[in-house]
Amino acid sequence: GLSTRAGQGCGSSMADLVCGSECSEPSWAFVGTQIQLSFALWVFFLCGGMFLVFIGTTKDMNPARTRFQLLKGKMQHSLPYNVMHGSLGAIQCSLFLIRTYSKSMTLIEFIFEAVVVMLCLVDMIVLWIRAFLSGLRSGLGFMLSRASIDCLMFVSVLSLVLIEIDGAKSWITFTFLGAIRLRRVWTDVLDIQKVNLQVLDWQIADMVVTVAVVVFVSAMSVMTLENLGDPEILREYNEGTWNTISSMYFIIATISTVGYGDLTPATGLGRICAIVALLGGISTLLLAWRNVLRVVTLNSSGGGTYSPPLRCKFVIVAGNPSPQSAKDLITELFHPDHADDADDLQAVFLLPRSNDGAVAASIQDFLEQRANLHLATKVFLLQGNVLDLADLTRSAVLQASAFFLLPDVSCLDPAREDTENIIRMMAVLRLVPTMRMILVLLKAENGKLSEAGIRVGDNVTVLAADQLKLELVGKTCQVPGFSTLICNLCKTIQHADEEIGTSPLWQQEYDRGMGNELYEVELNATYASRQALFSEVVVDVLEHTEGSVYLIGLIEIRPDGTKRVLVNPGPRYPVKKPDTGTKTNGIFVAADREAVVQCDAGGVFLGRRERPYGSSQKENDSVVDTGVIRARQVAASSDDIDRLIAVDLSDEEQARARELVKLARDHKKAVKPERPPLKLLARGGHIVVACVSGESKEAPLFGLGLEHFMRPLRQSTDDERHSPVVVVALEPPRDWHSTVGLEQTYFLKGNPLSSFDLQRANVGDAASVFVCRVVSQKVAEAWMADAAVICCTRLIEAQVENVGFTNIIPELTFEANFAFVPMPQLADAWAKSSSPLQDAEAANPRMSTKTKQFWDTDKPFTRGSLQESFRSSAKLMGSKSAANLGEEQFIQDIPAEARKSFLRTLTSEYFRQPRYAGGQLFVGTVITALAANTFYNPSLSELVFTMISAPVTMVGVPKEWVGKSYFEFFDHLLWEEELLAIGIFRQGDLLSLVDMDPMQQKASRRMSYVYTTPPAKATSMKLLDRVIVFGVDPSVVREKQKTEGTTVHAKRLGRTGSMNALRSLRSLRSVNSSR
């Protein structure tokens, strides 16, 4: 009979809990009870999982899902945890193997196996919760795989003390299935150790482990079933030679081409049937496998369907993004600073199938990294065509919150790339006209195509990568460090507070400023009710936040929805009242949105104070650049054009004819650009644009977009202060005609990679040199896309005697290449480092494997290690090259803490490099960061371009202000000079942790860096500081002219911040008429 009991009596000994050496033979009665109890436990977990799914549809379970995803990732990527589970599983399988011979079960064995299955059950519960929180499909898949095995193992071990058959217990369990867990642990360990399975030895080892697990589990299963015999239900059907089970066994063995030979048909008809079954079965099996593989391939390549959860918003990313752009977008969208907005956000990538899944595989690898495991549940990968309605339906486009279209920044044909993305945008807007579109173009000239055939409204944001790059760099040539300031405000960066105190002073200050971002926050109605001026609101916010938050501008939203962005509208610009129908938002620079504190109703207004109005009040004088680009006059006069056109033409036709004649002459000048005069080159102080391209036959294809570079350089109305611009390239850009009307713009035919041609351009005496890549080429590896720019930069630095006075700005497409263009001072120091890998690991113990590969001299990085790159660059540095350093032990003499901080600087991200901090490096990935943050702040893109086009200059610190607080100098500039300070361009030492005295500064490695919106009251002004300031917004000046009828003169904003004499009214009127 069958009897089951819950345990032993109190008087029973512990040894009686198990059968010991008196175990009964395995029987179906015992095993059947084990299976029934296991199924009951499995059903219990299934019902619990269904309840979790139901709760997930009614409540927000994203935080819980993320926590369990992180817990799963920690367990999966913990080496000690996996080694422990693997060791226990191996011992458990060994004990089962021993029991098959001893037919016994000791108490120690039972306790050990009970502990192992309890640990497995805890592990299973964590994965069970995570699976069902991810959805019903994920939960059912888990229950049919991992949960089935764990339930069977857990119940079979506990049944050794709970179940008795005919008064006896048995030794049989299903713990041999633990070998399956061994295979899973083996895979996790290989993943943790970053083992390359493409290596033959590891591939063989992986195959041996897999085969061993399959053989062991199969052998133990067959042995168990054969020893148990047939159950009662099958015994009577298996008595004859040919029965249902044996016939099915014969057909499967025949179709699978195994053919054991123990059964063979004896009749003719049976043999004919066997032949038909063999041929038909094999063909059917092959077709079935083909269909299965096709479905598996389709799903693994992004052919699935995205089902958005309830109460969850998501964005779709399409186009043809590069792996780096996709990673940057994910990082920006789900940055911790956006935690409140991105808590219920998901991202769906609809990638084209033409890239063979390389981008999808790269994103998947990125999500599987330990630091990014929390993003795995928020990012979904699909592949398809945006023009295909079925693919758009699979991505749930009708429910999307926004649609991103990103280009391939390394494509060979930018025009084609932009055209394809514009067509994709039109297809989406035709289906969903109100969709929020964020389109990134490579060339600004292609932006006009986006308006053709479809109306672009406020829901469409178009960003041009070349326009942002060229305008930023052009502005940086006038205001050093400006590009770094703007890029850091566009990019979300989380500062590591634990490094404060161990980094050099320049790094500490730069990091504090780097953590600030732009935020658009509605101004409190208190300001308008108190008739507050802009400057009073600025000071009030500074006072309420202890000098940590800055108000730099206003965004006025009119009743019709149009926006007016004003950066520094002037200290006496009044905040508009809400009853006028205009809503006013403030543009704040702060560490996070919560840091913005304004004056509440009934609070103390700290911005208003008594000020000496009168002589300091500039009613008619505004220290502002008018922002008007003066075009030079055409060589031929209007009378000359009139002689060329027919006299019998109508007025309208004559106007068209004049325009055609002007275009023809501009084209003629564009074909033969003007060469720079030798006197101009010899004088120096010019700006060189080195256009690095491919072979000569490809050079005419590129368009430079120089008008964007020239726009910030020609904003001033003072022609005498316009810096000449010399473009060095193999051939003139095809869009050179756009620069015909710009003063002092020259073209010099030559190869920027030739030392001779660089000497012809006199780069040694240039004020700034911008090295840009204008023609993309097919490269074997992504990092090689910047090889020509790196070589050109090193060649220029070798020709510049004092790199501290020449602003050399290389453009990098692949951000990791920053290591190949270090500051020359770092190259000198690095040339003497004898053990870079050990020093770098000591400075940064958490360094990634890829970074170690950069530093390891035994593992060259493609064409040479990073150390060799630094050594070779140091040899190009002239007087301070490695060859001339002799026995100088520069690195060894650095204090230990300074040495670690120096090495940490070299191994950190590009945006923490000295070169980038000083505005001497531009990385193209900033456009992706701007696109991502535009999703959270729709006005951000317009604000950034307004800041770039705004009048900006640098103001030196007079001696009487040295030692005073930044807040005092900020207040002085705002009220007395009508200038809004945004940051400090400060000098610092690369290595020191403490300030040096003047005698030590001569021997130190000095560099400049941007200190963005420093703490106003805690920062003291230094003698060599230069403050970056915004002048009054030109639109406010023009508006004041119209309303008051006063003469507003523009003062030129020089590099040193000194103000020129006021201009005459006639000059201003001529500027306005030329505009």
Per-residue pLDDT tens digits for 790-804:
888 888 888 876 655
> With 90 as the cut, is the pLDDT of residue 737 above it?
no
Give the ranges where 814-939 is alpha helix by DSSP (H): 824-830, 836-843, 849-855, 866-874, 882-885, 890-893, 896-907, 914-917, 926-936
> With 80 as the cut, is the pLDDT of residue 395 above it?
yes
Question: Which two three-digit tokens encode residue 336?
Answer: 């911790």
Residue 876: what pLDDT?
35
Percentage of the chain lying above the pLDDT 70 cut: 75
Band of pLDDT at residue 1051, cut at 50, 70 and 90: very low
Residue 1057: what pLDDT?
37
> With 80 as the cut, is the pLDDT of residue 695 above it?
no
Mean pLDDT within 676-698 = 80
For all residues of the chain together, what is the average pLDDT?
Answer: 76
Band of pLDDT at residue 58, cut at 50, 70 and 90: confident
pLDDT tens track for 891-931 = 333 344 444 444 444 445 778 888 888 888 898 888 998 99
Q: Is 732 left (phi over 0), alpha (psi -120 to 50) or beta?
A: beta
> With 70 as the cut, is the pLDDT of residue 77 above it?
yes
Mean pLDDT within 532-541 = 90
Residue 997: what pLDDT?
44
Mean pLDDT within 155-170 = 84
Residue 1054: what pLDDT?
38
Residue 970: what pLDDT?
92
Residue 7: what pLDDT?
40
What is the C-alpha separation between 404 and 465, in angstroms, rounded? 15
Mean pLDDT within 255-262 = 75
> With 80 as the cut, is the pLDDT of residue 452 above it?
no
Q: What does the chain come to in residues? A: 1075
What is the C-alpha separation between 579 and 588, in angstroms, rounded? 24
pLDDT tens track for 434-447 = 899 999 998 888 87
Band of pLDDT at residue 1001, cut at 50, 70 and 90: very low
Compute CA distances 753 → 20, 694, 702, 749, 881, whole Å.
Answer: 84, 11, 17, 12, 21
Residue 531: what pLDDT?
85
| Window from 396-400, 845-849, 935-939 with minimum mean pLDDT | 845-849
Residue burial 598-634, b: 16+ Cβ < 10 Å; e: rest: bbeeeeebebeeeeeeeeeebeeebbbbbbbbbeeeb
Is pLDDT larger for residue 780 or for residue 509?
A: 509
Rg of the chain in Å (alpha carbons):
37
Band of pLDDT at residue 713, cut at 50, 70 and 90: confident
Tell me how far the alpha carbon of residue 587 is from its chain's centroid. Answer: 24
Residue 238: what pLDDT?
66
Q: Is 1045 left (phi over 0), alpha (psi -120 to 50) or beta?
A: left
Is pLDDT larger for residue 493 or for residue 476?
A: 476
Residue 449: what pLDDT?
64
How many CA atoms lie within 13 Å of 868's alpha carbon, on the beta-carbon side? 10
| Window from 22-26, 40-44, 366-370, 883-887 with minimum mean pLDDT | 883-887
Mean pLDDT within 985-1010 = 59
> With 50 as the cut, is the pLDDT of residue 871 above it?
no
> With 80 as the cut, is the pLDDT of residue 575 above it?
yes
Residue 347: what pLDDT?
92
Residue 239: what pLDDT?
65
Q: Give the β-pairing of 402-406 and 437-441.
A: parallel
> With 80 as the cut, is the pLDDT of residue 848 above it?
no
Residue 701: what pLDDT?
55
Residue 314: what pLDDT?
92
> With 50 as the cut, is the pLDDT of residue 697 above it?
no
Q: Which residues contact 124 (CB under 8 A, 6 or more apart)?
A: 146, 147, 150
> With 50 as the cut, is the pLDDT of residue 41 above it?
yes
Count other C-beta atoms under 10 Å from residue 187's C-beta.
16
Band of pLDDT at residue 549, cut at 50, 70 and 90: very high
Is pLDDT larger for residue 430 or for residue 560?
A: 430
Residue 803: what pLDDT?
55
Q: Which residues contact 778 (CB under 8 A, 6 or more apart)?
A: 412
Band of pLDDT at residue 97, cut at 50, 70 and 90: confident
- Going across the sheet that includes 402-406, the strands are 379-383, 345-351, 313-319, 402-406, 437-441, 460-464
| Window from 177-191, 289-303, 631-645, 906-920 with minimum mean pLDDT | 631-645
> With 50 as the cut, is the pLDDT of residue 1004 above it?
no
> With 80 as the cut, is the pLDDT of residue 577 above it?
yes
- Highest mean pLDDT among 333-337, 634-638, 693-697, 873-877 belongs to 333-337
Residue 428: what pLDDT?
92
Residue burial 15-46, b: 16+ Cβ < 10 Å; e: rest: eebbbeeebbebbbbbbebbeebbeebbeebb
| Whether 397 contacts 432, CB under 8 Å | yes
